[in-house]
Structure 1
Amino acid sequence: MSKTPIWKSIALSLTSDIAEGRYGTGDRLPTEAQLAASHGVNRHTVRRALSELADQGLVHARRGAGVFVTAQPTDYPIGKRVRYHKSISASGKIPGKRILTLTTRAADQAEAEALQLDPGDPVHVYDGLSLANGLPIGLFQSIFPANRFPDILTILTETRSVTKALQRCGVEDYTRISTRLTARAATATQTLHLNLSEGAPVLHSLGINADPEGRPVEFGRTVFAGERVTLTISES
């Protein structure tokens, strides 16, 4: 088994320090010389680690002043009634969504089971990116029963909001009835969309949302950038 490069270990250590609040937004990191001494490496190795954090949007360098923290990982709650825009706004950041594709196709086995459909029944699929302050934090796919919500893709084009789209389709409220989380390494496609390094940690989330009568209205798959998001458990 190949060993993790030293520069990547330093980058992960610094990311952890930022995530745990040892360095807040706007704080200056230790100098290259200080980091090199504390990790027992040369400055070139430290520079490679800092470049990795800069590529991820976590830090930025100011000529003659040092390297400063750009942003801390975004807190994102996982609970019964979580709304993306509200949650990101509550963390002090600007939420956003970017549409990648909107399609209609036949449901596979897992999608049919989650939405209480028959395999092959039509589903509408919304693929997109979740943003916080313009930085991608999640690659998501939302799947809806097409026969129940025939116009939802058109509405999503206008609103980019699942909550608003479901409301316009007659679903005033919905709650999360199941969530499954798995940690993995990012694939090539995920690294491209999320602007991550190859093999970076990501969190896979599978969730089912249902209306007040318990009928599933959305099956969601999301890949969160592990270095940019802190998932929290919420009871609401």
Structure 2
Amino acid sequence: MMCVITYLDIYLMSLYAIDRDTGITLYAQIAEVLERDYVRQGAAGDRLPAEGELAARFAVNRHTLRRAVDELISQGLLERRHGVGIFITDQLLDYRVGANTRFTQTLADIGISTDTRVIRKMITPAPAGVARNLALLADEPVLWLETLRLADGLPFCVISHFLPVKPFSELLDDYAGGSLHDFLEKNHGALHRTESLVTAVLPQGDDAKLLGITQNRPVLRVKSLNVLDRDNSPVEYAITRFRADRIQLRITP
């Protein structure tokens, strides 16, 4: 049986060409192309070509192509509907950042279920930037909480919470998850955010693993300070790392 290669086939093969000598796995390269040419160029609900067709375009077997698709599914960019096809998900959540932003309430308002996992709780010397924001002396003991937040069961952000040991030491024993701000307001009074500094950075430490992304995929880092309503005394300095592929930040006064 003779195989006829058309000009369109040649164009597609060049368009989807991948480099087998870069040291980067084939499925990772394919995932990058799929994200660039389909996810970013398409819209939520768009269907990708069939896996067999994509495998032929990339000149790889279906197992390799499926591995690339699974990579994007794990990142929340695609979804596989069995018997129907592969579709682009509505992956960008509109997350409002303002004076009274609350993770649980903000996502509940747009119909997203949330969960909080406490990664670590400890007392540590305050880094210079943390000490300055909390009006503490450099290296003064500070309470450090690390939490992983999930939205609809998928990793959404990692937050480092820093608080003065006094009067918040009860968090070590009593806080086990849920809304940290609700816990603080119940025990210490209402608080609000005074600033939010947003930067795109590469993940540090174990952030990439916790968020389910590769080490070279940027995150949105938001540094924020929360103070008590009654006297504006610093309560919490937080450093949040959002998955940049799942969120758009809407900054409000």
Scaled by the length of structure 2, the TM-score of the pair is 0.78
Q: Deviations over 1:155-181 (max 9, x none)?
A: 322x5321122123322x111111111
How far has the Cα of 1:74 moved from its partner?
A: 1.9
Contact 1:155–1:165 (8 Å) recurs in 2: no
Residue in structure 2 matched with residue 10 of structure 1 by the alignment: 34
- Contact 1:174–1:211 (Cα < 8 Å) also in 2: yes
| Greater than 4 Å deviation, 4+ residue runs | 2-7, 33-36, 43-49
Aligned to 1:54: 73
Matched, 1:109 2:125: no
Q: Does 1:175 align with 2:192?
A: yes
Instruction: Give the match for residue 197 of structure 1.
Output: 214
Deviations 1:46-85 (A, max 9, x none): 7565332112133222343211345522221111110111
What secondary structure is seen at the aligned counterpart in 1 of 2:223? strand
Q: Using the alignment, how far apart are the partners of 1:98 and 1:204 within structure 2?
A: 19
Q: Is the 8 A contact 1:188 1:198 kept in 2?
A: no
Partner secondary structure for residue 40 of structure 2: helix
Match of 2:103 in 1: 84
Q: What residue number does 2:241 align with?
A: 223
Name the aligned partner's letter for residue 79 of structure 1: G
Number of aligned residue pairs:
224
Instruction: Flag structure 1 segments of 5+ consecutive residues without an equivalent.
Output: none
Percent identity of paired positions between Structure 1 and Structure 2: 25
In structure 2, how many angstroms separate the alpha carbons of the residues matched to 1:49 and 1:226? 19
1:32-51 aligned within 5 A: 32=50, 41-42=57-58, 44=60, 49-51=68-70
Task: Give yes or no for contact 2:31–2:72 (8 Å, CA) kept in 1.
Answer: no
Match for residue 163 of structure 1 among 157, 181, 189: 181
- Post-superposition Cα deviations, 1:8-48, rounded to whole Å, max 9, x if no partner, equal 14314444356xxx21xxx2523147985xxxx53648756
Unaligned ranges ≥5, structure 2: 1-21
Tell me if structure 2 keeps the 8 A contact 1:32–1:43. no
- Structure 1: distance between partners of 2:67 and 2:179: 38
Q: TM-score by structure 1 length?
A: 0.83
Give me the whole-angstrom Cα distance separating, in 1, the residues matched to 2:53 and 2:242: 29
Question: Which 10-residue stretch deviates more, 48-57 or 201-210?
Answer: 48-57
In structure 2, relative to structure 1, the CA distance for the partners of 1:155 and 1:12 (3 Å cut) is farther
Residues 120 and 147, structure 2, Cα contact 8 Å, conserved in 1: yes
